[in-house]
Amino acid sequence: MARLSDIIEEFIKQLMHESDAVEIQRNELANRFNCAPSQINYVIDTRFTNERGYYVESRRGGGGYIKIKRVNIQHGINYLMHIISSMGSSISQHSAECFINNFVDYEELTEREGYILKAAVSDKVLGNIPLPYRDQIRASILKNALMSLLV
């Protein structure tokens, strides 16, 4: 049986098939699925992240909304530049792997290149470097590898 989070995620993705972006009201969606508004926040915070190729904008208050846009990946350079700029100065192994998986899914990297890049930024390789330096070096390696794709 699917979990409620999976059902909400799938519902939002179906809405996004109709347009490039979807604007939802958290309370309305919570009422639709008979759950707490925090459940909607959880789904959006964990399933619609930059790493997964989404841009989320929210406005609080009475007329507040949450707008979710899928990053335009038809132009690989725009997508790669978006990821590089949103990455920040450090990144965890898990987040780096999410980015890499998306690159493979969107055919910006081959599956083999994805495996190689995951190996290069893994804790197995960087494990002797103390945190937070490890995550900073990982971000630097990943950004430089992605920049090489733009050449």
Positive or negative, the CA dihedral 72, 97, 106, 83 is: positive
- The pLDDT tens digits for 131-148 are 889 999 999 999 888 877
The predicted structure's pLDDT at residue 88: 82
- The pLDDT tens digits for 56-115 are 888 776 666 888 987 655 556 676 777 777 788 899 999 999 889 888 887 888 999 999
Whole-Å CA distances, 54 to 73, 96, 116, 120: 10, 15, 25, 25
Average pLDDT estimate for 37-41: 89
139 & 123 share domain:
yes
Confidence of residue 151 (pLDDT cuts 50, 70, 90): low
Q: List the domain range (segments joined by +) for residue 58.
A: 4-70
The predicted structure's pLDDT at residue 150: 63
84 & 144 share domain:
yes
The predicted structure's pLDDT at residue 45: 87
100 & 144 share domain:
yes
CATH number for the domain harbouring residue 58: 3.30.56.130
- The pLDDT tens digits for 109-133 are 899 999 999 999 999 999 999 988 9
Q: How many domains does the chain have?
A: 2
Is the pLDDT at 20 greater than 60, yes or no? yes
37 & 85 share domain:
no
Q: Bigger pLDDT: 57 or 34?
A: 34
Q: Bigger pLDDT: 51 or 134?
A: 134
The predicted structure's pLDDT at residue 135: 95
CATH number for the domain harbouring residue 128: 1.10.1200.150
Residue 64 CB partners (closer than 8 Å, separation 6+): 25, 26, 58
